[in-house]
Amino acid sequence: MFIAMNRFQVKRGAEASFEAIWSARESYLGEMKGFIEFHLLKGPVSDDHTLYSTHTTWADKAAFEAWTTSEQFRRSHARAGNDTGQSLYLGHPRFEGFEVLRTERKSEAAA
37 located within any domain: yes
Note the pLDDT of residue 99. 97
The CA-atom distances, in angstroms, between 28 and each of 33, 73, 81 are 11, 7, 16
107 located within any domain: no
Q: Provide the domain limits for residue 10.
A: 2-99
What angle do helix axes 71-78 and 61-68 make, rounded to 10 degrees? Answer: 60
Amino acid code (one letter) for 49: H
Q: What's 7's DSSP letter?
A: E
Residues in the chain where the model's pLDDT stays below 50: none
CA-wise closest residue to 93 among 16, 27, 22, 13: 22
Per the structure, the count of domains in the chain is: 1
Contact between 72 and 37 under an 8 Å Cβ cutoff? The reply is: no
Note the pLDDT of residue 26. 85
Q: pLDDT tens for residues 47-76? A: 999 999 999 999 999 999 999 999 999 988
Domain harbouring 77, CATH code: 3.30.70.100
Contact between 56 and 35 under an 8 Å Cβ cutoff? The reply is: yes
Note the pLDDT of residue 105. 87
Note the pLDDT of residue 83. 58
Note the pLDDT of residue 25. 84
Give me the sign of the Cα torsion angle 30, 27, 60, 66: positive
106 located within any domain: no
Full-model pTM: 0.84
Note the pLDDT of residue 107. 81
21 located within any domain: yes
Note the pLDDT of residue 19. 95
